[in-house]
Amino acid sequence: MAITVLIPTTLRSFTNHRSELELEGSTAGEVIRSLADEYPETKKALFDENGSLRQFINVFVNGENIKVLQGNDTPVKTGDEIMLIPAIAGGAPTASVLGDTKGEKLTNEEILRYSRHLLLQEVGIKGQKKLKAAKVLIVGMGGLGAPLAQYLAAAGVGKLGLIDFDEVDETNLQRQVIHGTRDIGRPKVASAKDSIKQINPLVKVETYNYMLTAENALDIISEYDVVADASDNYQCRYLVNDACVLLGKPDVFGAMYQFEGQASVYYAKEGPCYRCMYPSPPPAGLVPSCATGGVMGALPGIIGTIQANEVIKLIVGGGEALVGRLLNFDAWKMRFRELKIHKDPNCPICGEHPTITKLEEYDYADFCGINKQEEEEAPVEAIEAKELKRRLDEGEKITIIDVREPHERAITKFPDAKVIPIGQLERRQNELDPTVDTVFVCKEGKRSILAVNTLREAGYKGRMFNLKDGINSWAREVDPTMPQY
């Protein structure tokens, strides 16, 4: 029987970029195995070394997680829809996180500024006072943090905390609309604060120009009523989630990649937390970042404003928050799907017998595979752009493999490179000569490291290098006519 399988963007490079497949099987597990059989490159992404489905991937049958059905044995029939939801990332009316506080009195200036809110029965004077009294922390001032900060400031949230240790660069401006060209090189929190003050000078802004860590997270987050997670890495997402669970705060979550976005509210007091949905992250390097895979400029605006909407509802109270629900959005097809998520009684932080009780004693880098990745990457030999140029000029025989996708090569081509996308390396390794040094190139030198490790695991014995800092380094140091991206 034919079952429709919806493939997320992060896995489409393994399915010839197909977003929907018709596969056979009588159970969810059989269908997923059929997927792996038809597209062998998906096996490493879907299954661990023991052949079990990886914990960072959730499988939904007709919008319901198979974890609360019959697992892999969940029966399926013709016309059913299976959706894979990897980490990239109805409800009852929700009470305000501020409780019954009346908040400060609104001035005449505020009444005029927020009049369109006051005309809404669901918000009104009472709700606007709560917004004025509220304190919201935004973790990350990039693509998602930009619209979050702008709309929460415009809505009249009394205090916004902004935490980010990065600086504005030119590639940010395609989507991080809170920053401008004149802000290139400035700390993102400083640029965002200036923009917020232009939007609404009545909002208090606290900036933290450093990384959120296990040592400072509880102290910072304890000062706020709601946390909006606009981060871009798994280590920070698990840290934000755990701190929010321990402090009883709601975590308004957003994530995006290429054309897909996710939003939810992880609030352990009322429903599941992030760990209930994703017990563990993907192996380090398996899921590319936006810097590597790209992102549609308008997508963070959509997801970020959804997050802002959820924050406002949590403060005002009365709306149906995304607690226990994951909103999945495909911008390319303009399609929203709502998926149910459930509290896991075995969750290590919000379950019946929690094992995570102190952030300082938990190694988030190790949990997210960062330490392991660094250990694995250490033996990979790197070659700098100028050294590669010297060896080529001297006539040395070197095989150069470009592992980028076709649309990236349309931006700029690397001279004399053989094209093998990273998802095809293992089965095409016979095209390489192990007696000749091979240099792998990508945009910034991260996928090339993954390429080397992939071939090593597959048994390839030739000497391999990654071009340090990727094609962009070649453009900077060797060929200034080549564009950087």
Just list the catalytic residues: 290, 442
* Tokens coding 21: 């497949």
CA distance 232 to 143: 9
DSSP 95: P
Q: What is the enclosing helix (H) or strand (E) of 61?
A: strand 57-61
Would you say 370 and 235 are in contact if contact means Cβ atoms under 8 Å apart?
Answer: yes
* Tokens coding 64: 């319901």
Rg (CA), the chain: 24
Q: Residue 33 — left, alpha, or beta (φ > 0 → left; ψ -120 to 50 → alpha)?
A: alpha
CA distance 448 to 453: 9
Would you say 38 and 23 are in contact if contact means Cβ atoms under 8 Å apart?
Answer: yes
Helix 124-133 vs helix 299-316: angle between axes, to the nearest 10 degrees? 110
Question: Between the CA of residue 290 and those of 333, 367, 396, what are the distances in Å?
Answer: 19, 21, 35
Alpha-helix runs per DSSP H in 353-393: 364-367, 370-377, 385-393
Q: Which residues contact 246 (CB under 8 A, 6 or more apart)?
A: 218, 349, 357, 359
Q: Which residue has the tokens 């997801």?
A: 303
Question: Which residue, 250, 235, 273, is CA-closest to 354?
Answer: 273
* Tokens coding 290: 């936006």
Q: Give the DSSP per-residue string, 194-205.
A: HHHHHH-TTSEE
CA distance 231 to 380: 29
Question: Between the CA of residue 257 and those of 137, 289, 384, what are the distances in Å?
Answer: 23, 7, 29
In what side-by-side order are the strands of the sheet with 381-383? Answer: 381-383, 464-467, 437-441, 398-402, 418-419
Detail the DSSP E strand segments found in 77-163: 81-86, 135-139, 159-163
Detail the DSSP E strand segments found in 267-369: 325-330, 335-340
Would you say 282 and 347 are in contact if contact means Cβ atoms under 8 Å apart?
Answer: no
Would you say 268 and 17 are in contact if contact means Cβ atoms under 8 Å apart?
Answer: no
Pairing mode of beta strands 159-163, 204-208? parallel
